[in-house]
Structure 1
Amino acid sequence: DALGEQPEVFDHDVVDLAGSGYHAFVQAESTESGGFLLDIAYDHTLIVDTPLEFADDRLRATLVGTHENLRAALGAVPDGLEFSVDDAGTYIPGSEDLLSPLTDRQLEVFETAVQEGYYDVPRQATHKDIAENLGCAPSTVDEHLRKAESRVVTGLIQ
């Protein structure tokens, strides 16, 4: 078990999400970036939303707060520490889970539709275009998109 072999990990548990992935609960010694993130969040009255994503010596996190507090926090980032703002806007708790009800195939069709411009205004792709890219029939694309759209929109409203 790779987590148990890490010297900075005190305790951990991995939960199987019935085929849709895993959640790892890890208690570990604070990393420099993780400690800084918590300090800056505390100092500027921000909420750090979970999960935190650690990959390739990087930390990805969602910070929630007022525009004023977020701007002040960004201004407090010390020189030499790289950061980027991937997105800014209205915070919708759980929005990262909007796609979780989709099957793998629905997600593939939905993501392809977005990438090809199906949802652009004006529309840049048709069911036929998406079907050609995925190697299936346009009617299959239609069915998967309708089901995916229904699940995503229902998740937004509930």
Structure 2
Amino acid sequence: MKYLRVELRYPPDLTHPMHRLVDESEAVERDVLVHGTVFGEPNDTFLFYVEGDIDVYTEALRAVDRIREFEVTRIDETGHYVLLTQRRDPVDDATFDPLQRTGVVVVPPIDFRPDGVARLTMVGNAGPLREALGELPDPIETTVLRVGEYDWRQAVFDPALTDRQFDALAAAVDIGYYDSPREATVEDVAERIDAAPSTASEHLRKAESAVMAAFMELREVS
């Protein structure tokens, strides 16, 4: 079963006001759609995970006319869940209608990032996946970041690496950088990912730190 890791880049005039907040305010660091319920009704309900100053975020929520109601639940000092109901608009329909078809499943979360970027995972049959991507509106720039065989277990352990950190780590494993004895050098990793050795080394250090931290957190939870 194939999966696609897809990046959607919205032009400013089509970017949701709450996602523009990620660009415009340093107070909000992350805005992630965890789950959503979409019916044939005018209003949809979504659960977001938000990192940052929740007061700034909720003030922005109140300023968006299409948001009908919301509820905030604190997780820790900077992390919150936000359950909200909002009126659907034509941009929502144009974006998500092509994805709601037989043979395609959008697997949450959808990660909203700066510069109008949303990243999501699509699972399904090759034909419907191609059709879904082909029917997304032209103003939304679509990039397929990764293609592979889907395995739900990958989501159980997620150190939230950047794409470049993942590429460096994958290259290092593939060429034997972590073998004992070591069969490759940082320079070999750098050549594989087309980067300077110092850049490759930095990617590896940050990736290793994130992986170890995520692993320890997983162990503590279990």
Q: What TM-score, normalized to structure 2?
A: 0.44
Gaps spanning 5+ residues in structure 2: where? Answer: 1-57, 178-184, 187-196
2:24 is matched with: none
1:148 is matched with: 212
1:14 is matched with: 72
CA RMSD in angstroms, aligned pairs only: 4.3
Distance 1:116 1:62, change over 3 A: closer
How many Å separate the matches in 1 of 2:99 and 2:171?
37
1:150 CA drift (Å): 9.4
1:63 CA drift (Å): 1.8
**Number of residue pairs matched?**
134
> Is 1:92 matched up with 2:131?
no
Distance 1:148 1:58, change over 3 A: closer
2:192 is matched with: none
- Picking from 20, 41, 47, the partner of 2:99 is 41
* Residues 93-141 of structure 1, C-alpha deviations (whole Å, 9 max, x = no match): 36345136x9xxxx8xxx59x469643414234xxx99xx78xxxxxx8
Code of the aligned partner of 1:148? M
Distance 1:86 1:61, change over 3 A: same
Distance 1:115 1:64, change over 3 A: closer
Code of the aligned partner of 1:77? L
1:39 CA drift (Å): 0.8
1:71 is matched with: 130
Question: Identity percentage over the alignment?
Answer: 20
Distance 1:10 1:81, change over 3 A: same
2:173 is matched with: 119
* Matched residue SS, 1:89: strand
Equivalent residues of 2:70, 2:82 under 8 A apart: yes
Code of the aligned partner of 1:60? R
Distance 1:36 1:96, change over 3 A: farther
1:70 CA drift (Å): 0.4
Equivalent residues of 1:33, 1:59 under 8 A apart: no
How many Å separate the matches in 1 of 2:155 and 2:107?
11
Gaps spanning 5+ residues in structure 1: where? Answer: 135-140
* Residues 32-91 of structure 1, C-alpha deviations (whole Å, 9 max, x = no match): 443223211223542222222334434332222111210122222343432111222122
- Picking from 105, 109, 115, the partner of 1:51 is 109
More strand by share: 2
* Matched residue SS, 1:35: helix
